[in-house]
Each structure stands twice: as C-alpha cells, then as structure tokens.
Amino acid sequence: MKPDNWISAFTTGNQPLVIAGPCSAESHAQLLTVATSLKEQGIGLMRAGVWKPRTRPNTFEGNGREALDWIADVKNQTGIAVATEVASTQHVEQALHAGVDVLWLGARTTVNPFLVQELADALKSVDTIVLVKNPINPDLSLWIGALERLHHAGIKKLGAIHRGFSSLQNSVFRNQPLWQLPLELKIRYPQLPLIADPSHIAGNRHMIFDVSQKALDLGYDGLMIETHPDPDNALSDAQQQITPLALKELLANLRIAERSSDNIIFLNQLEHLRERIDQMDQELINTLASRMKLVEKIGDYKKENNVTVFQLERWNEIMKTRPEWGQHAHLAADFIKELYRVIHDESIRIQTEIMNQSETRHDAP
C-alpha cells in the first residue's frame, strides 16, 4: 500500500492535521457557527456526521440529505472543507454530489468486508480522500483489509483514524486506546497518515487533552476532535464534545514535538544512548537464551519423571514474585506480568515439544 501525502494541503510546518466539528450536523446555524470559528483558528477541515450509526433505534440518526444542503452552503460561505461518514453506496453518491471533500468509514463499517468492498467499488476512480476508522474490535487485519480494499479500488489519498476499541473490561475510556495496534499500523505503513480521535477514545471532554497529547507524542499525524457550539445540548455524544473556544485552548496547550532534530549534540547523545540500549538488548537476549536452556532441562526432567508440563503452583509463584521483584526495581507490575506471560508461554511451548518427541533427548546439557 503506497498512499499519497494529502495531509500537507491542510497543515503548515510540523503542525498536526486538525479535523474538528460536531458529531452530527444538527442545523445550518450550528454548522455555520462552528465553521466560522474553525476558519478563524486556521482550521480548514470540519467534520460533521450526516448519517449517524446509533446503537439503538429511535434515537437521532442524523439529518441525512437536508444536512448535505447545509454543508454545501456552509462550504460556499466559509470556504471550509468538510468530512463526513459514509456507510452505504447511496451515502457515497449523495456526499460526493454535495461536494463533501473527505469521506470516512466508521468503526461499524470497517468490521464488515462485504460492505467495505461495496464502498470501495462505489469509490472506484473517484479522486477523493478516504479515512478508515479502526474496527470496533481490536483486529488489526480488518483495519488493514479495509484500507487495502480502498487502495485496490484506486483510492490513493488514504488515512487511518484511531478511535479506540470496544471492550468488556471496565475502563476510564469509552473505547480502549490499545496504542500498540495503531502503532503497529504505523510501523507497517509509515506513509499512511494516522489520525487520533480522542473524542471517541475518551468519551468525556476531560480526557481529550491527555489522549491528544499522547497521540502527538507517539508521532500521530493528526487529531479529529468533536466540537459543538453547545455541547451539553448536542443530539449525539454530548459528554465528549467541546466548544470551539475550548478547542482553541486545547490546541494551544498541546506540546508539538519535532519529528527529528539536526542538532549535532542531540544526535550524538541519542546515538550514544542507543548504542547502550543495543548492548543491553544483546545481554537480555543472551540471558533469555540461557533461561530457555534451563527450561529444556526441566522439560527433559519432567518427561523422565512423567510429570505434566504446566504446574499451577509454579505459575502462581512466578506471577506473584516477579511483579514484586519488578516493583523493587521500579518496574510497573503490569509490564512484568505481561512479560512473564509471554516468557512462560514460550517455556510451555518448548517443554511441550520435548514431551512430544518420541525419544528422550540426550543432547541436553
């Protein structure tokens, strides 16, 4: 996948792309108020939901065609570009007909490859910007698959929106960020613009700043932030929308780090620290290899004595002591638990392999 760089048309210098605007287009006046304020702030791309995918029926599902007329008029009056969600081929046709500049696939669409393919077909040979939100479930392949379907249909101006993932776990977030997933996407497709949607990740206006800052610290290319003139009375996602003024303050307070630096002292110091990290990683790997050699020995021993590979008490002991040791060394308990889960899985895999070998190995040290 080789997407084009379309972002520079909406940004200056190292500033992140900002897409702001209401969750839903509620009225002509609402859109005009937001668009005017965004333009004053130098923001050239407004979001506005025309068709809203609501969890339950009989709630506000967007203003549809009428909203497209408002959008066309507000675009005319202010010169702002507009982004909206499309979830059917009719949406695509109507949105393009109304002059919508950027389309996005919502989280509930990305999960459905049939639907994504239909949308990709409807967009064939259309030179427009299409953004793909992550699927509701934490499945990177589905996200990539949707982007690929669009890319195969000839859409080159692509982008990914990270809006977080549904989870049964109690969490402070409306949608769990699971940062490692979008970062994996960035590693695989460095040219693909990655945009965070802190509004849908946070689900409340108080955490939007922190989520936005984290995204920028991780090198995201942009932010999509729900902005409404009267958030408390919004027809959808009232808790997470902020006023255009609050947006202005939020953006002013964000720390925007340089992607890199050509300062010689900085570069030398960075190289020096990286060399030390390289050395430590080699030591870590050698230590892991020695540990796994011991694991093989234990595997042989268990086999000779006809004892099961998995020993619950030992597992419980490891999961109790290692995080404690970690804490003494100022390492987060969750990190150590996660690490030992992976190490223990590998130990079990190695020992199971030994158990299943027809002969007892004689090459163990």
278, two tokens: 């390289």
Residue count of the chain, please give it.
365
Give pairs for 229-234: CB < 8 Å, separation 24+. 229/30, 229/33, 229/34, 231/205, 234/22, 234/23, 234/24, 234/26
**Is 81 or 295 the residue whose CB approaches ligand PEP more closely?**
81
Comparing C-alpha atoms, which of 110, 119, 182, 115 is closest to residue 142? Answer: 110
Tell me the residue nearest to ligand PEP as measured from the CB: 106
In the complex, the smallest distance separating the C-beta of residue 163 from ligand PEP, rounded to whole angstroms, is 4
Half-sphere exposure of 107 (CA within 13 A, CB side): 18
Secondary structure (3-state) at 264:
helix
Which residues make Cβ contacts (< 8 Å) with residue 144, sequence separation at least 6? 185, 188, 189
| E runs forming strands in 51-176 | 81-85, 102-105, 129-133, 158-162
Name the binder of 295 from ligand PEP, Mn ion, none, CB < 5-8 A by kind: none
Site for Mn ion in 20-79 (CB under 5 A): 23
Name the binder of 163 from Mn ion, ligand PEP, none, CB < 5-8 A by kind: ligand PEP
**Is 165 or 340 the residue whose CB approaches ligand PEP more closely?**
165
Which residues make Cβ contacts (< 8 Å) with residue 288, sequence separation at least 6? 343
**Is 45 or 354 the residue whose CB approaches ligand PEP more closely?**
45
Site for Mn ion in 2-31 (CB under 5 A): 23
Stretch that binds Mn ion, among 91-99, 124-132, 210-218, 234-242 (CB under 5 A): 234-242
In the complex, the smallest distance separating the C-beta of residue 244 from Mn ion, rounded to whole angstroms, is 16
**Is 133 or 157 the residue whose CB approaches ligand PEP more closely?**
133
Q: Is 237 near Mn ion (CB under 5 A)?
A: yes
| CB-based contact 37:22 (threshold 8 Å) | no
352, two tokens: 């199971």
Stretch that binds Mn ion, among 91-99, 233-241, 272-280, 291-299 (CB under 5 A): 233-241
For residue 43, give the amino acid letter: I
Name the binder of 133 from Mn ion, ligand PEP, none, CB < 5-8 A by kind: ligand PEP
In the complex, the smallest distance separating the C-beta of residue 176 from ligand PEP, rounded to whole angstroms, is 13
In the complex, the smallest distance separating the C-beta of residue 226 from Mn ion, rounded to whole angstroms, is 6
202, two tokens: 């946070």
Name the binder of 107 from ligand PEP, Mn ion, none, CB < 5-8 A by kind: ligand PEP
In the complex, the smallest distance separating the C-beta of residue 295 from ligand PEP, rounded to whole angstroms, is 43
Name the binder of 322 from ligand PEP, Mn ion, none, CB < 5-8 A by kind: none
Per-residue x/- track, 261-300, Mn ion (CB under 5 A):
----------------------------------------
- What gap in Å lies between CA 365 and CA 215, rounded to an integer? 48
Binding site residues, ligand PEP, CB under 6 A: 23, 49, 53, 106-108, 133, 163, 200
In the complex, the smallest distance separating the C-beta of residue 236 from Mn ion, rounded to whole angstroms, is 6
Phi, psi (deg, nearest 5) at residue 84: -145, 160
Name the binder of 106 from ligand PEP, Mn ion, none, CB < 5-8 A by kind: ligand PEP
- What gap in Å lies between CA 178 and CA 162, rounded to an integer? 10
Half-sphere exposure of 259 (CA within 13 A, CB side): 8
Phi, psi (deg, nearest 5) at residue 307: -115, 145
Question: Angle at the Cα of 225 (from 221 to 227), degrees rounded to 5?
Answer: 150
**Is 23 or 43 the residue whose CB approaches Mn ion more closely?**
23
Name the binder of 248 from ligand PEP, Mn ion, none, CB < 5-8 A by kind: none
Residues that bind Mn ion (CB under 5 A): 23, 237
